[in-house]
Amino acid sequence: MSVQVWTYILVAITFGLYIGIAFATRVKDTRSFYIAGQGIPPLWNGMAIAADWMSAASFLSMTGLIAFMGYDGAVYLMGWTGGYVLLALLLAPFLRRFGKFTVPDFVGDRYGSDALRALAALTAILISFVYVAGQMRGVGVVFSRFLQVDISTGVIIGVFMVFLYASMSGMKGITWTQVTQYVVLILAFLIPTVAISLQQTGNPLPQLGFLNVVGDLDTLQRELGFTAYTAQTRSTLDIFCITMALMVGTAGLPHVITRFYTTPTVRDARTSAIYAICFIALLYTTAPALAVFAKTNLIGSLNDRPYAEAPAWFKTWEATKLLSFTDKNGDGVIQYRPGNALNADKTPNADSANELTIDNDIMVLATPEVANLSPFIIALVAAGGLAAALSTASGLLITVSGAVAHDIYYKLINPNASEAARLLAGRITVGFASIAAGYFGINPPGFVAQVVALAFGLAAASFFPLLVLGIFDKRMNWQGAMSGLLVGLGFTLVYIVNFTPTLGGRGTPDALFLGISTQGIGTLGMLLNATVALIVSRLTPPPPAATQDLVEGVRYPSGAGAAQVH
């Protein structure tokens, strides 16, 4: 059978599973809708966290970034993995002990401010929409190639699917769907990588096999005029800032934190984080190997090859406009060299001899075809990419729903709303959020991992200091927290917009502050947030004694794990 037929079969089977799980676990109360009734065992919750975490950025784009950035791409591995250590140690057990529905719920009650609760809810919505844009873009990329539809149509299909099961069963159904999606995506990532490792190195362990190839790639890149694959091209300061922003951004992402509210006890929340790190490590330790295999294969298959003799997969990917050949010298031969083949307006770039344009997001999807693996494996990778994108998108939609329907509608506008009204508001919000997610997926401000990295910067500059100071500083009051949040988030958002051309920014690379990129500026935003918050809180009255006792109880409880949701 062809790749397209296998893709239809596997997508139909997996989508059928997701809908079936949602139908079997449909909910009738908000506790189940938002936190799965706090009944998810730590092993399964760890697997669901891993699926929620390993989004389209991890599955589709991270390998492409590492393939083209080389050493510099390691920041994504270090930052995203290290963030879970921070989350497990500094936030997850304490927030679970507090026992609320959402991150803004904690913020509002801890600081005793409805205005700060509303600001936190709006921040959660902003971060979630930036993040979900990357997921929907990933769905569109998969559909455009393997089901022969354009990216916009693929995004619409994905939006409809995630709305269907997210609105039906909320966090309870999403959890078990994510467990299934983890199995799909990890098999889809590992199976082809093992096959390619055997093919290129004779070693079935990709982590060891790639050591035999990375030196060859270094040499090949030098011969073509590129810097060595293992060379550092970013400044050390920028690498540090990006890594730190990704780490603390991970620990501050509201949709990830919410997953820790779903366990029965505080101990289970911490155990979930440990399981999640193990499940995530399976993919993250494999990605660098796949990146090396993918780039070596791609260069070997295309460089200095007559376009008329290009393999069939090249022509198919060309149709998606994610891969293109621009014959600048008219010799009909594909030449892959340093620099961009095209200018921003898609005209040929006369300053570079490069004739090949490759979208980072296609590397994982295209590599099985480049390696001439079986149609089944190629289709499995497509199903895995969809699983990765949809699993994260569903968690983000629930986060938006919680921020709007629970934190704003119920907590601030209509505290007397019935359970049925609150649940209906949550489902309606999922619907509107899905439509917005589709729009941002069709019009994203960059490629998948770039968009996601921006979301991490915003989370780093906003929620991380807000939550850490709220847990560990009894003297922190709402005035300090709000001032810090506004300054940190405002600075980071303005900086990102100013230096992101697709958002209308006019800043040039030479104007970057200390050379820190938009992906790393969240680190400075975090420091600004914390500094302003600490200063303002010391210049204003301390929080009430009851609030300070509450903080003390979260950190040093009597009967840990007994906190209940109210």
Model confidence pLDDT, tens digit, residues 384-419: 888 888 888 888 888 888 888 888 988 889 989 898
Question: Do 180 and 322 sit in the same domain of this protein?
Answer: no
**CA gap 160, 544 in Å, rounded:** 47
Going from the C-alpha of 396 to that of each of 168, 253, 425, 481, the distances in angstroms are: 15, 10, 16, 24
Q: What is the pLDDT of residue 452?
A: 66
Note whether residue 360 is domain-resident.
yes
- The residue range of the domain holding 267 is 3-294+373-448
Residue segments in the chain with a per-residue pLDDT below the cut of 70:
101, 444-453, 502-504, 556-566
Note whether residue 239 is domain-resident.
yes
**CA gap 539, 522 in Å, rounded:** 26
Q: What is the pLDDT of residue 229?
A: 84
How many domains does the chain divide into? 2
Q: In sequence order, what are the residues at sequence separation of 6 or more whose Cβ sits closer than 8 angstroms to the Cβ of residue 25?
A: 169, 172, 173, 176
Q: What is the pLDDT of residue 552?
A: 83
Question: Do 28 and 83 sit in the same domain of this protein?
Answer: yes
For residue 329, give both structure tokens: 């010298």
Domain boundary among 327, 354, 370: 370
The CATH number assigned to the domain holding 277 equals 1.20.1730.10
Write the single-letter amino acid at 83. G
DSSP string computed for 351-417 = T----EEE-GGGHHHHHHHHTT--HHHHHHHHHHHHHHHHHHHHHHHHHHHIIIIIIIIIIII-TT-
Q: What is the pLDDT of residue 29?
A: 86
Q: What is the pLDDT of residue 3?
A: 81
Note whether residue 557 is domain-resident.
no
Note whether residue 455 is domain-resident.
no
Domain boundary among 448, 478, 501: 448
Assess contact for 26 and 166: CB atoms under 8 A. Answer: no
Domain boundary among 431, 448, 465: 448
Question: Do 193 and 91 sit in the same domain of this protein?
Answer: yes
Q: What is the pLDDT of residue 487?
A: 95
DSSP string computed for 241-262 = HHHHHHHHHHHH-HHHHHHGGG
Q: What is the pLDDT of residues 28-56, one digit of tens each?
A: 888 888 888 888 999 999 999 888 877 77
Question: Do 264 and 161 sit in the same domain of this protein?
Answer: yes
Q: What is the pLDDT of residue 364?
A: 85
447, with CB counted inside 10 A (0-12, 13-18, 19+), is buried
